[in-house]
Amino acid sequence: MFSLTHLNTFGLKADASHFFALANEQQLPELLSLVQQYPHYFILGGGSNVVLSSHIEALIIHNQLKGIRLLQEEESFFLVEAAAGEVWHEFVRYCLEQGWNGLENLAYIPGTVGASPVQNIGAYGKEMKNYFHSLTAINVYTGEQKEFSLAECHFAYRDSVFKHEAKDYLILRVRFAFPKNWKPSLNYADLKNFGGLSEHSSAMDIFNAVVQIRQQKLPDPKVWGNAGSFFKNPIVSSANYQTLLQQFPALVAYPQENGEYKLAAGWLIDQCGWKGRALGAAGVHDRQALVLVNRGGAMAEDILTLAKAIQHDVQERYGVLIEPEPIFVK
C-alpha cells in the first residue's frame, strides 16, 4: 500500500494498491507495461482537484515531469513549453519573470501544468485556453504519442476532450503562445475593485493582486484541507435566468457570449445558509461558500455527504443543479 494522504490538498486519509512516479519520459515504456497489468489507473498531478477514497484499488500514476523552455520567438508571440508535472503557480510566476505575459489572472491556482488543459482552468475573467497552443500526450494503452491542437482539445467551461474521448491520454508537455502586444485584463469585479490596478499596471502587478485576493478568500490547505472551489458555476438559459431574477432580484450572474448566463454558485450556496456550516468532519469555509474544508480527520464519504446536502438545498430553492469540480476517485 502507498499512502496518498500527503498527495491531496484535502488532506484526506487515503492509500493506493499500486503507485508509479513518472519523473522522466524514459520511464514511459515501463509505465505502459504496468498499465496493462492493472484493471484501473488514475493520473494524479498536484492532488488539488480530487476527492480520494480511503483505499483505491488502482495504479496511481503521479506525474512529476519537469522542465520549461522557450521553443521559439515570433514577431507577435513567444511559444513556451512546460512539462506536465510543473507546479502551475510557479510556472506562471516564471513566465512573467521572463516577460512572457498572459497567465497573470490565473496565479495561485493549485495543481500542475498537465492538469490545466484537462480542466481548462480559469479565474478572474480568463481561461487557460486563451493562451493554449498545443500539447503532447501519450495513450497509456496503445503507446501512441499525439499532438493535440487548440481545436482538438474541445475546450469548454471546466471541460476538455481529456475528460471524454481522450481520457486515456497522459499529458506530457503543454505549449503556450504569449502575445507580445499584451494588455491587462481587469474586467473581473475583484480586480476592478482592487486598489492600485489600472490599464497601466504590469502583468506582475496583476499577478500579485490575484495572489493577495485569493489568499484572502481561500483557506491555506496546510491549515484547512480543501480543493479550492468545489462547485462549478451553473450555466442557465436566458429565459431561466429572467425567471430566477424575478424571484431573486439580487441574483449574481454573468452573461455569456452565447446569450446564456453563468450563475455564481458561491452566492447560491451562501443564500441557502451553508457558509461556515459543517456536517461532522467536513464543512463550508466561513469566508468563501464555494470552498469545502476538511475540519480534521475527514474521509471522502464526509465530503460527499456535505456536497450532496448543499446540492439538494440549492436545487430545492433555485431549481438549479450545481456540479462538483473535483474528481471523486474510488
pLDDT (0 to 100) of residue 222: 86
Residues 189 and 267 in one domain: no
pLDDT (0 to 100) of residue 117: 97
Give per-residue pLDDT as tens, 59-90.
999 999 999 999 999 999 999 999 999 999 99
Catalytic residue among 158, 173, 201, 214: 158
Domain residue limits at 229: 216-329
The answer to whether 284 touches 269, Cβ cutoff 8 Å, is yes
Residues 178 and 299 in one domain: no
Residues 208 and 91 in one domain: yes
Give per-residue pLDDT as tens, 263-275.
999 999 999 999 9
Q: Is residue 12 part of a domain?
A: no
Per the structure, the count of domains in the chain is: 2
Q: How far apart are CA 267 and CA 233, in angstroms?
A: 10
Domain end marker among 164, 198, 215: 215
Residues 78 and 195 in one domain: yes
State what percent of residues in the chain have pLDDT above 90.
90
Mean pLDDT of the 157-171 span: 95
State what percent of residues in the chain have pLDDT above 70.
100
Residues 211 and 234 in one domain: no
Residues 74 and 208 in one domain: yes
Residues 208 and 301 in one domain: no
Q: Please say if 116 is a catalytic residue.
A: no
Mean pLDDT of the 168-174 span: 98
Q: Please say if 134 is a catalytic residue.
A: no
pLDDT (0 to 100) of residue 240: 96
Catalytic residue among 86, 104, 127, 325: 325
Q: How far apart are CA 207 and CA 61, in angstroms?
A: 31
Sign (positive or negative) of CA dihedral 66, 68, 72, 78 = positive
Residues 269 and 211 in one domain: no
Q: Is residue 60 part of a domain?
A: no
Q: Is residue 277 part of a domain?
A: yes
Q: Is residue 11 part of a domain?
A: no
Give per-residue pLDDT as tens, 279-311.
999 999 998 999 999 999 999 999 999 999 999
Residues in Cβ contact with 316 at an 8 Å cutoff, skipping those fewer than 6 apart: none
pLDDT (0 to 100) of residue 188: 86
pLDDT (0 to 100) of residue 195: 84
Nearest alpha carbon to residue 129 among 102, 166, 109, 108:
102
Residues 132 and 223 in one domain: no
pLDDT (0 to 100) of residue 196: 85
Pull the grid cell for residue 324.
462538483
Domain end marker among 215, 233, 257: 215
Mean pLDDT of the 146-162 span: 96
Buried b / exposed e along 147-175 (16+ C-beta atoms within 10 A): ebeeeebbbeebebbbeeebebbbbbbbb
Residues 131 and 201 in one domain: yes
Domain end marker among 215, 240, 265: 215
Q: How far apart are CA 210 and CA 242, in angstroms?
A: 32
Q: Is residue 14 part of a domain?
A: no
Q: Is residue 26 part of a domain?
A: no
Catalytic residue among 48, 116, 134, 229: 229
Give per-residue pLDDT as tens, 233-245.
999 999 999 999 9
CATH number at residue 306: 3.90.78.10
Q: Please say if 323 is a catalytic residue.
A: no
Give per-residue pLDDT as tens, 182-216.
999 998 888 988 888 988 999 999 999 999 999 98
